[in-house]
Amino acid sequence: MENEENEVLDENLENEAVETEVENEKITKQEEVVPKSEYDELDDRFKRVYAEFENYKKRSSKERLNLYNSILGDVVEVMLPVIDNLENAVKVETQDENYKQGVELVLKQFKDVLASKGVQEIPALGETFDPNLHEAVSSVQDDTKGPQEIVQEYRKGYKIGTRVIRHSMVVVAN
């Protein structure tokens, strides 16, 4: 009985070996059947599809980042009046120093959170007027100032990267 089992096993192994050889021959024959021009064409197609896929990944990543910045900008824009009011509250003189300190801490924390998300204040005072960043609400003649120099800021402006969330409202000299 043991011999019969061994014979069956040997026969199965031989059959598998023959099947593997036949498959290898088929693969070899298939390789011979594919002409070099067709191989080159398929290789070129593969490279083009791969390049398109890489471009798609880059493009979708950039779109995701732009969408994130757009949404973040919209959220920050509605909170900017709160920052303005906190800054005004800090400027007001009060007898209660603890109260004033508390408002200053809240304002600092608010600005730190915005900075951690990439929100920056647009510099204005002493800078040259840039219509992409500033909104001129008035102009004054002042010979001590340079041309298009910002001399006063009515409202601070903010940006995320290169996207302006809110333009600075400024007074420009000359």
| Token reading at 87 | 């800054």
User: What is the fold of 34-117?
Assistant: Hemagglutinin Ectodomain; Chain B (3.90.20)
Angle CA 38–40–46, to nearest 5: 105
Task: Give strand pairing partners of 144.
Answer: none
CATH label, 118-174, candidates 3.20.20.80, 2.30.22.10, 1.10.530.10, 3.40.50.1360: 2.30.22.10
Domain(s) of CATH 2.30.22.10: residues in the chain = 118-174
- Rounded distance between C-alpha atoms, residue 124 and residue 99, angstroms: 29
Residue-level pLDDT, tens digit, the chain, 174 residues: 556 665 655 666 676 766 767 666 665 555 556 788 899 999 999 999 999 999 999 999 999 988 988 899 999 999 999 999 999 999 999 899 999 999 999 999 999 999 999 999 999 999 999 999 999 999 999 888 888 999 999 999 999 988 999 999 999 998
HEC-encoded secondary structure of the chain: CHHHHHHHHHHHHHHHHHHHHHHHHHHHHHHHHCCHHHHHHHHHHHHHHHHHHHHHHHHHHHHHHHHHHHHHHHHHHHHHHHHHHHHHHHHCCCCCHHHHHHHHHHHHHHHHHHHHCCEEEECCCCCECCCCCEEEEEEECCCCCCCCEEEEEEECEEEECCEEEECEEEEEEC
